[in-house]
Amino acid sequence: MDSESGKPIELALQRLWLQGKILAVGARLIVRHVFRSSETKPVEVIYTFVLPRDATLRQFMVTGEGFRVRSRLEPTEKAVKEYEEAMQRGNLATLARQYGDGLVSLAVGNLRPKETVVVLLEVLAGVQTLDAGLRFRFPFTLAPSYHARARAVETEPGVGEIELPEDEFQDLVLPRFHKDSTGLHEVGFMLSVAMGLPIGEISSPSHSVRVTAGEGEQSRVTLTAGQDLPNRDLVLDVSTRKLYPFVLCGMGKDQKTRFAAGAPSHAFGETPAVPRRVVFVLDRSGSMGGAPIEQAKKALAACLGALMEEDEFGIIAFDDKFVEFGPGLHKGNKRSRD
Q: What is the DSSP string of 154-187?
A: EEETTEEEEE--HHHHTT-----EES--TTS-EE
Note whether residue 172 is domain-resident: no
pLDDT score, position 216: 59
pLDDT score, position 35: 79
Q: Is 105 helix (H, G, I), strand (E, B) or coil?
A: strand
pTM of the model: 0.66
Note whether residue 75 is domain-resident: no
Note whether residue 124 is domain-resident: no
> Could you tell me the residue range of the domain that residue 303 belongs to?
277-337
DSSP E strands, 179-332: 186-194, 199-203, 209-213, 218-223, 234-240, 246-251, 257-262, 277-283, 312-318, 322-324, 330-331
- Our count of domains for the chain comes to 1
Note whether residue 103 is domain-resident: no
Note whether residue 312 is domain-resident: yes
Note whether residue 58 is domain-resident: no
Note whether residue 313 is domain-resident: yes
CB 247, CB 196: distance < 8 Å: yes
Per-residue pLDDT of the chain (338 residues; tens, 9 = 90+): 444 555 554 445 667 899 999 998 899 999 998 877 777 778 777 778 888 888 988 988 988 888 888 888 888 889 889 988 988 898 888 888 888 778 888 888 887 887 888 889 999 999 998 777 899 999 987 655 556 677 777 888 877 777 777 787 777 767 677 666 666 667 889 999 998 778 889 999 999 999 998 665 789 999 887 667 767 889 999 988 766 566 666 667 777 887 777 666 666 667 677 899 999 999 998 888 888 888 888 889 889 988 989 999 999 999 999 999 988 999 999 889 88
C-alpha angle with apex 172: 99 to 127, nearest 5 degrees? 30
Note whether residue 246 is domain-resident: no
